[in-house]
Structure 1
């Protein structure tokens, strides 16, 4: 399937001048329409983009600019003016791909010359030029056969450890998708695909998701966030578990089953016992709250069954399925995971609940890692450290941010999309380095030259002053 592309190229004068014109406003001062987020000690944050349409997956290109999937719209490029730390502005918004098919997934090849994105059915590729910015040529369909109308995200990850390897995560087609029991359906699975032989040609035969590729894990209800640990190359995912569940006809859905952090082995090895394993769904789930009927001695994170019969029961779940490394409060809905380059921390976006009386999630948190593994014990209930939260979750989801995509730049700044509010934030550790800058009012441009921000006072009528801020490239 060919997806139409469209490139918008505003005049250079407008791209440079207009974002820098302010009238009685401070630079880098976008404000949310809802109560301001709360930051933990050692962090600061700033809203840098608004008025987007359901921004989901985000990624930074080689120029340090943002590519954003607007769900049901396409992909936009946000050219950034960088004032250091959290002080960024969108200088130019360019539509790269105009398509209502795209839902969430986005990735760039290691050489930054190929852009990947996904619909609910397929994964596509385009030639990409960050200097344009533009995509060129017809899109290539790399993978297809993933149609479904419930969980429609198809998360994409390009390995930094194994050349030309694309990891794709596909969720279930319903809350309790019994077809996921059959590995041949391709439902609720994470697979890796070798792109070495997939030249950028529109007539290349796509992979079929259900029958090709290397299985990293199955029985994964909806593992939207997928990441590669930077030191060991281990593949991790965060899973959204089931809603509205009962056990032995008792409603336990408020606090069970837990959301999961799962481990899937290494892409450069197929001998890891965790690789290709069954993680339980649709019959087995991770226990979070242990106060449920007929539980026995199960701990947080143990696999348990919704029914207790001769075929499917708690013992069956524990014996034949892979348990998560960590389990989180039910319904927080983790949608992305990104690792610090030194492997000491993984950031998680928690989109927030809809199936719980007291809303939970709606925040960005982190998990401590050491030597390629999480520090917390598997039965921990406090493995998450909150970074950015809403001040009052009772106002959610209608009057708060909802984190989705995450991206880290070379300065350690964390970018986060909020689909419900159409926004992008940048978060910065106040104790870490910020981009090289000769002064608070200057920073290096993408081409390496100095980009200086100068201010002029223009008197239009007596008593009215408009400050014009110009970037000299």
Structure 2
């Protein structure tokens, strides 16, 4: 892991860098814990670089102090830099803090709103009861804008490490709130309670099942859908996740469903047998659009890239909602779909309105040349 953000001059026509590295942001300390440092260049505010920094541990109490810079999403203007790098903790525009591990970050293409997907805690207890199987929920959070539009939530506290989001409310002792609202774990400070969590912290815009581990989020070009990769659980009795899901948006910058919904995500691609996970199934990680509107999805566990297209090979960037032919979509061979790879079945046919599409897997080999 790097403690800094680096930049190089790049020649796109030659596909290579043309300069030595230079420091852009420095001082993202502790070489342990959640070491992902997600970077995103804003398309609505040119020159603004978003940096997401996760916590050092499962419950990291230093994140109670916003000045540490830990568990934050910040934006840095790299178009007017001096010769010195930004100090991460003391510089930058704060978009949100109290964010345990927000690996996926995206900008809505119409409104310019910034969203992230959050990986919440493991092994959580409340009132002496272990409630980790189905709580807390994973999150899709809204963080305001970089284009000058006002938002009350921008720069706010999203709860971690004291307040967490309810998913299965029936399993949380002495809890009277709803799915999507925050609750306290009650073993850090006597003043932290459910009321404080609900009133003084920012709840997610969408809540997902616990332990899904969302790692990336990509909007389609017209802002009517967010595609989310769910890497899947590692610390749950019954495995969950390991899929690609779609969340419908209204095209103006907000999800269609309310914040207390338990059905916000439509599963597009998932493993046929979750009992084989995580060791013997694909685990979605990164997402990327190409110029034809096809969605590429990587799987780190199998070394594959999946390509999501319609049945005629065209892209899915215009898709805002989807239904699957089966109750649970699995990548199984159907009809004249492409042949499966050696590691997993290769295709699933799903319906999108009056259209259908195929998901195709391709084996990818990465070579290191010296």
For Structure 1 versus Structure 2, the TM-score category normalised by the shorter chain is: 0.7 to 0.9
Deviation at 1:133, TM superposition (A): 1.6
Give the 3-state SS of the residue equivalent to 1:317 in structure 2. Answer: helix
Give the 3-state SS of the residue equivalent to 1:227 in structure 2. Answer: strand
CA distance in 2, matches of 1:243, 1:367: 24
Equivalent in the alignment of 1:116: none
Equivalent in the alignment of 1:125: 7
Structure (1/2) with the larger strand percentage: 1
- Does residue 1:383 correspond to 2:264, yes or no? yes
- Does residue 1:403 correspond to 2:284, yes or no? yes
Deviation at 1:366, TM superposition (A): 0.7
Deviation at 1:260, TM superposition (A): 0.2
- Does residue 1:331 correspond to 2:207, yes or no? no
Equivalent in the alignment of 2:148: 269
CA distance in 1, matches of 2:283, 2:147: 35
Q: Is the 8 A contact 2:37 2:53 kept in 1?
A: yes
Deviation at 1:434, TM superposition (A): 5.3
Equivalent in the alignment of 1:140: 22
Q: Is the 8 A contact 2:295 2:315 kept in 1?
A: no
Give the 3-state SS of the residue equivalent to 1:196 in structure 2. Answer: coil
Match of 1:168 among 51, 55, 61: 51
Deviation at 1:197, TM superposition (A): 1.7
Residue pairs, 1:91-240, within 5 angstroms: 101=1, 119=2, 121-148=3-30, 149-198=32-81, 204-240=83-119
Deviation at 1:432, TM superposition (A): 7.2
CA distance in 1, matches of 2:224, 2:97: 27
- 1:63-83 Cα deviation digits (max 9, x unpaired): xxxxxxxxxxxxxxxxxxxxx
Equivalent in the alignment of 1:440: none
Residue pairs, 1:19-30, within 5 angstroms: none
CA distance in 1, matches of 2:311, 2:165: 36
CA distance in 1, matches of 2:303, 2:23: 28
Query: Please, what TM-score do these two structures have when normalized by structure 2?
Result: 0.82
Q: Is the 8 A contact 2:102 2:117 kept in 1?
A: yes
Q: Is the 8 A contact 2:169 2:175 kept in 1?
A: no
Equivalent in the alignment of 2:231: 351
Deviates more, 1:159-168 or 1:139-148: 139-148
Larger RCO, structure (CA 8 Å, separation 6 or more): 1
Query: Please, what TM-score do these two structures have when normalized by structure 1?
Result: 0.64
CA distance in 1, matches of 2:6, 2:50: 13
Deviation at 1:291, TM superposition (A): 1.3
Give the 3-state SS of the residue equivalent to 1:332 in structure 2. Answer: coil
- 1:78-137 Cα deviation digits (max 9, x unpaired): xxxxxxxxxxxxxxxxxxxxxxx5xxxxxxxxxxxxxxxxx3x11111111222221121
Deviation at 1:295, TM superposition (A): 3.4
Give the 3-state SS of the residue equivalent to 1:331 in structure 2. Answer: coil
Cα RMSD (Å): 1.6
- 1:370-395 Cα deviation digits (max 9, x unpaired): 02100111111111111111111110
Give the 3-state SS of the residue equivalent to 2:115 in structure 1. Answer: strand
Deviation at 1:293, TM superposition (A): 4.4
CA distance in 2, matches of 1:275, 1:434: 34
Deviation at 1:423, TM superposition (A): 2.2
Distance 1:432 1:344, change over 3 A: farther
